[in-house]
Structure 1
Amino acid sequence: MAAPNEDEILEGFLCPICKADLKSASQLTNHFESLHQEEQDVLKSLKDIFGKAKKIILNNEDSDLKETFDRALKFNSQEYYPSEEQVIGVSRCSTDYFKGVRSARLERYATETNKLLIRLDKLVCNMPSEPNQRKVHEQEVVPWLDGSSVKLCPNCAKAFNLTRRKHHCRLCGSILCHDCSVFLDINVAKSIVDPSLPQALTQSDQEVTEKNGLRLCEHCFNLIELRKQIQDSRNAKTVLVTAYEQMRSLMDQARPAVAMYEKMCQSLFDGETTYNLSDVNALRGRIGKLAEGIDLLSKQIASFPVDPGTRQAKLQNSIRQAAAHFIKEELLSLRKLPTEAQIDEVRRERYERAQKQVQMERERMERERDWRGEEAGASGSRVDNNPEVDDNNPLIEQMNIIRGYIKEARKELKFEEVAILEANLKELKKEYQLQMLSNKS
Structure 2
Amino acid sequence: MVDRLANSEANMRRINLVENCFGTAGQPLAIPGRVLIGEGVLTKLCRKKPKARQFFLFNDILVYGNIVIQKKKYNKQHIIPLENVTIDSMQDEGELRNGWLIKTPTKSFAVYAATATEKSEWMSHINKCVYDLISKSGKTPNSEHAAVWIPDSEATICMRCQKVKFTPVSRRHHCRKCGFVICGPCSEKKFLLPSQSSKPVRVCDFCYDVLSVGELTASQPGSSDLFCQSPKSTNNLSDDDDDDDDSSD
TM-score range, shorter chain: under 0.3
Structure with higher helix content: 1
Q: Which structure shows the bigger proportion of residues in strand conformation?
A: 2
| Bigger Cα Rg | 1
TM-score (ref. length: structure 1)? 0.17
Larger RCO (CA within 8 A; separation ≥ 6): 2
